[in-house]
Chain A
Amino acid sequence: METLIRMANQIGDFFNSYSEVEAVPEIAIHIRKFWDPRMRKAIMAHIADHQGEGLKPRVLQALKSMPS
């Protein structure tokens, strides 16, 4: 889980210089396009069970916006 959180936050960091309106969907698209379903499921479970602890706010927002 630590690895997934780090990976997700790294993606978030790249879009730091973009506005929230742009960054959140970009983060979501990136994860949707490149993460295997079990990785997405695991991080979603982390959000459900631990309120997404460790995830940066925009990343959390992006993940929550993603259709499961």
Chain B
Amino acid sequence: MLIKEIDYGTPAPEQPRMCGSSKCSCAAGVTPEVHADTPMVTLEIDGNSVTVPQGTSIMRAAMQMGTQIPKLCATDSLEAFGSCRLCVVEIEGRRGTPASCTTPVEAGLKVWTQTGKLAKLRRNVMELYISDHPLDCLTCAANGDCELQDMAGAVGLREVRYGFDGANHFDKAKDQSNPYFTFDPTKCIVCSRCVRACEEVQGTFALTIDGRGFASMVSPSEAQPFLESECVSCGACVQACPTATLMENSIIEAGQPEHSVVTTCAYCGVGCSFKAEMRGDEVVRMMPYKDGKANHGHSCVKGRFAWGYTTHKDRITKPMIRAKITDPWKEVSWEEAINHAASEFKRIQKKYGRTSVGGITSSRCTNEETYLVQKLIRAAFGTNNVDTCARVCHSPTGYGLATTLGTSAGTQDFDSVEEADVIMVMGANPTDAHPVFGSRMKRRLREGAKLIVIDPRRIDLVKNPHIAADYHLALRPGTNTAMLNAFAHVIVTEGLVDEDYVRERCDLAEFDRWRAFAADPKNSPEAVEGFTGVKAADVRAAARLYATGGNAAIYYGLGVTEHSQGSTTVMGMANIAMATGNIGHNGAGINPLRGQNNVQGSCDMGSFPHELTGYRHLSTDAVRQQFEKDWGVTLDPEPGLRIPNMLDAAIDGTFMGIYIQGEDIAQSDPNIQHVIAGLSAMECVVIQDIFLNETANYAHVFLPGSTFLEKDGTFTNAERRINLVRRAVKPKAGYADWEVTMLLSNALGYPMNYTHPSEIMDEIARLTPTFQNVSFELLEKSPVQWPCNDKAPEGTPIMHMNGFVRGKGRFMITEYIPTEEKVGPRFPLLLTTGRILAHYNVGAQTRRTDNVAWHPEDVLEMHPHDAEDRGIHDGDTVSIASRVGETTLRVKVSDRMQPGVVYTTFHHFGTGANVITTDYSDWATNCPEYKVTAVQVRPTNRPSEWQSQYYKQREATRRIEATAAE
């Protein structure tokens, strides 16, 4: 069945998210649809009594009782506009025919939605619209999904008295510049829904109505083609368009979908809900799902459009093996591949010892799949050498927040941002890396919330249409901890501590010590200015704003964690949030914006070498014994190797076999040459992936993976929300990833016999106190945020509400210790890395879509002064070298950068940005220091030696032996 959400025409009236009134019965617990103390209004529509919250439009009230008033310019994702005049109604005792979309309900109103007068008016309106609309309905791409067509039917349009010979727009040319949708101005009715969607929902303001009267036209930027305009291709305009004016190319090609499956996007950690709209076994459109709790019906270019990789010709659908990485791959049966992998792991363990093998779980796979991989490693391999991608991104978040607050996750749900008064974004770039949440944030900022950005680079959020950061503290990379200590200094010395909050909730001895530390003049903004490079006065003002501006929320990303002091900086954020009373209520909190779709989940599922599900250290006997009993094995009580330790151990000859599911460490991890040396030293590398990724160049067994569209399971997003992933199509290689892990486990002699991922979740719930009440049955009703147990049966949108999870909040001393990676005469610049909107992580997925139209290659951003000094011009090819490696790429000269700092992304293997990044890492978690690398940049005209060599080797290690025709 094709799911079509009800369109109520106008948004629901705003209500406080959490109940502020003690009289309201919903004061605690999950946000209700309508608060018990919301004033309600009763009116009569077409003779029927209806009661709705105050502020509801007549149009919405009518739809709530099931009566659809004809409409064209209204849709409930946008504020009422009142332009089409189709939704007029009559109200007893009032003159004229008011638009029902812009008229709010009042008690006792008597409204008529269908009268002879209204019918005549509506027909007249439709007649005018249709007189300038091509009548090619039968061959139109919107046929079957066109609101204009529906309305012509609804109002009973039977003739167009004006004829079709007059002035019209039939000869306007299509704009097909965007690879994903077509703009056909001949079909435009100038309802402005697209323009408003771009403003209100996405917040890009790329569209406008150009011209006046009959010449009015939708125009991207200043009459540019869509692709060249400011449009970010989020799809909100296409979704809002009531006609075929803005239409997905996939629908133009395929036709309308006939059924849909609600699932969760497999790109970033926002975890948007989508309807995979299908024709038979083929996806033809991904539509954001209005009831999605994370996205509320919005999307970005990746989730909405960049799903073509799922059927890309590069998908590997047959298992493959080879003896040496210099051999070509040989396609084999599943049985042969699995048995070969299992026998290799057994052989290696026999030769080098039990702990000589391990694996990496995937932050892109489901919770159930991740759980199974770590279970296989602990139970079937009998070692704790398991780690996950979070090692290289948010492991410091886990460590820092667990130490200070008691739990390894963000404190809020996304909706909380709607009540933030001060938003502090540190080392994150939400409009590029978490675009749908970025749009929510921008909406709140346009409503007047204040903004502090702490980032070396001028990210888009700093200056955006109708948004300007109050403070952009453009610090030198590597000085985050010093910056937060300066914030702490201001808070402590200027009397901005929320003393009551601290006294009630925090460990006072630790607090007193921290207060003395923060007050030390060495931490003052003036003292740190010399190395942070940020004016003390700005830091003081920003700290005052954070401490006194109302609800203050911190959102942060890898610009915080991927440093030698990543964990320290996370603790620094917890310190200032606790000191100012900004944890445990709506609108505040500390929120990691997590990178991959299920990186929160992969951490929750016990992917780290030292802990089991729910962040419980495996040296705790009671915890370990619970698993031992359930799994029927004895578990090693010692922590295992982390990813960087595995690679070191491989080079030392003590770690010789690895099972990697959905992870590409040979592109994503730092100091690639070191990674490659580690992988090459191993005797058996098993890769499970949808493509031959870069790591597979060093593999001996390849097990084809399945995409998110091909399996059931759950992803947990950055707000701890567990969303269902539902299978829309068959796995291309025959098995979903969880089934492949079972095959391998069974071949290793440890039986796994699940028939559905829901059974795996039941096991997780049984073994994990924070997941106690989670089941697929519950998630079918509504996705929940963990902890979800008897204490919080409907989940926990906001954590630490009645005290911290660890008991008393623990302030930690966060001494600033400069990184060992220093600039010097040979390497005078600092490189920092990041992400861009069009691409995702290593780009294996997005590079295989039309998203390359926006970002075909990684570029190096450089300040004009630095470029000038080196004789480098915009667009030049340059060499960038660090102490560990060298690569080449093209330069973009940009004043987004500060002098002395350069920036690039790591989405393309050809650039290999991580050839340059170093082995330095966070002190607590070994999270690599991606964000600070001393480099030199010079003009060049050829690829680096590494690149030439790598391309050659890459070709040689990716050959697949031709199979004989059957």
A68 interfacial by beta-carbon distance below 8 Å: no
B549 in the interface (beta carbon within 8 A): no
Please report the C-alpha to C-alpha distance between residue A16 and residue B517 in the assembled complex, in whole angstroms: 12
Q: CA A61 – CA B560 in complex, angstroms?
A: 31
Q: Which chain A residues border B649 with CB–CB below 8 Å? A: 36, 38
In the assembled complex, B585 has its CB within 8 A of some CB on chain A: no
B interface footprint on A1-38 (CB within 8 Å = 1, 0 otherwise):
00100110011011011100000000000100111111
Tell me if B645 and A36 are in contact (CB < 8 A).
Answer: yes
**A22, B378: Cα distance in complex, Å:** 33
Segment of B37-45, B690-698, B919-927 engaged in the interface with chain A: B919-927
Bound-complex Cα distance A34 to B638 (A): 9
A residues near B384, Cβ cutoff 8 Å: 36
A14 in contact with B924 given A3-B919, A38-B355, A39-B645 (CB within 8 Å): yes
Given A14-B923, A14-B924, A36-B640; 11 other pairs, CB 8 A cutoff = A3-B919, A7-B923, A13-B923, A14-B567, A14-B568, A17-B813, A18-B813, A34-B639, A36-B609, A36-B639, A38-B355
Given A34-B610, A36-B639, A38-B649, decide whether A11 and B923 contact each other with a Cβ distance below 8 A.
Answer: yes
28 A-B residue contacts at CB 8 Å?
Answer: A3-B648, A3-B919, A6-B820, A7-B921, A7-B923, A7-B926, A11-B923, A11-B924, A13-B815, A13-B817, A13-B923, A14-B568, A14-B817, A14-B924, A17-B517, A17-B813, A17-B815, A30-B924, A33-B619, A36-B385, A36-B641, A36-B642, A36-B649, A37-B355, A38-B641, A38-B649, A38-B654, A39-B641
B943-964 CB mask vs A (1 if < 8 Å, else 0) is 0000000000000000000000
| In the complex, chain B residues 547-580 whose Cβ is within 8 Å of any chain A Cβ | 564, 567-568
Chain B 511-534, CB within 8 Å of chain A: the 1/0 string? 000000100000000000000000
Q: Which of A7, A13, A16, A33 contacts B639 (CB 8 A)?
A: A33
Which residue, B609, B815, B919, has most C-beta atoms of chain A within 10 A?
Answer: B815
C-alpha spacing A7/B923, complex, angstroms? 6
- Residue on B nearest A39 in the bound complex, by CB: B645
Count of residues in A whose CB is under 8 Å from the partner chain = 18
Q: How far is the CB of B779 from chain A (nearest CB, A)?
A: 33
The answer to whether A35 touches B639, judged by C-beta atoms less than 8 angstroms apart, is: yes
Residue of A whose beta carbon sits closest to that of B813:
A17
A18, closest chain B residue (CB)? B813
Q: Which residue of chain B has the shortest Cβ distance to A42 in the bound complex? A: B652
Bound CA–CA A8/B231 (angstroms): 49
Q: Which residues of chain A have C-beta atoms less than 8 A from B639's C-beta? A: 33-36
B617 in contact (CB, < 8 A): yes
For A3, the closest partner residue in chain B by CB is B648
- Chain A residues in 8 Å Cβ range of B648: 3
Residues of B within 8 A of A34 (CB): 610, 639, 642, 924-925
A16 and B923 in contact (CB under 8 A), knowing A35-B639, A36-B641? no
Q: What's the minimum C-beta distance from B674 to chain A, rounded to whole angstroms?
A: 10
Residues of A within 8 A of B921 (CB): 7
Residue in B564, B639, B921 whose Cβ sees the most chain A Cβ within 10 Å = B639
Chain B contacts to A: CB under 8 angstroms = 355, 384-385, 517, 564, 567-568, 609-610, 617, 619, 638-642, 645, 648-649, 654, 813, 815, 817, 820, 919, 921, 923-926
B interface SS class: loop
- Which B-chain residue is minimally distant from A11 (CB atoms)? B923
CB distance from A26 to the nearest CB of B (A): 11
Tell me the bound Cα distance from A25 to B640 in angstroms: 21
Asked if A16 and B640 make an inter-chain contact with CB atoms under 8 angstroms apart, the answer reads no
Q: How far is the CB of B571 from the nearest CB of chain A, in Å?
A: 9
Q: Could you tell me the distance between the alpha carbons of A38 and B564 in the complex, rounded to whole angstroms?
A: 23
Contacts of A39 in B (CB 8 A): 641, 645
Q: Is the CB of A36 within 8 A of B638?
A: yes
CA distance A35 to B384 in the complex (A): 11
Q: Which chain B residue lies CB-closest to A2?
A: B919
Give the chain A neighbours of B564 by CB distance below 8 A. 10
**A33 with B638: CB separation less than 8 A:** no
| Distance in angstroms between the alpha carbons of A35 and B919 in the assembled complex | 17
Within 8 Å CB of A10, what residues of B? 564, 923
Complexed CA–CA distance, A14 and B816 (Å)? 9
Q: Which residues of B contact A35 (CB under 8 A)?
A: 639
Closest Cβ neighbor of B355 among chain A residues? A38
| A6 partner residues in chain B, CB cutoff 8 A | 820
Report Cα–Cα, A41/B145, bound state, in Å: 68
A15 to chain B minimum Cβ distance, whole angstroms, is: 8
Contacts of B925 in A (CB 8 A): 34
Complex: A10 Cα to B642 Cα, angstroms: 17
How close is A3's CB to chain B, nearest CB, in angstroms? 6
User: How far apart are the CA atoms of A44 and B813 in the complex, in Å?
Assistant: 28
A33 and B610 contact, CB distance less than 8 A = yes
Q: Which of A3, A14, A17, A37 contacts B638 (CB 8 A)?
A: A37
Q: With A and B bound together, what is the CA distance between A40 and B385 in angstroms? A: 15
Closest Cβ of chain B: how far from A39's Cβ, in Å? 6
Instruction: Please name the residue on chain A nearest to B617 by beta carbon.
Output: A33
Closest A residue, CB atoms, query B609:
A36
- Binary contact track A46-61/B, C-beta < 8 Å → 1, others 0: 0000000000000000
Give the nearest-CB partner of B817 in chain A.
A13
CB distance from A40 to the nearest CB of B (A): 9
Chain A residue at minimum C-beta to C-beta distance from B520: A17
Whether the Cβ atoms of A14 and B645 lie closer than 8 Å is: no
Give Cα distance in the complex from A18 to B745, angstroms: 46
Residue from B610, B640, B815, B923 having most chain A Cβ neighbours under 10 A = B923
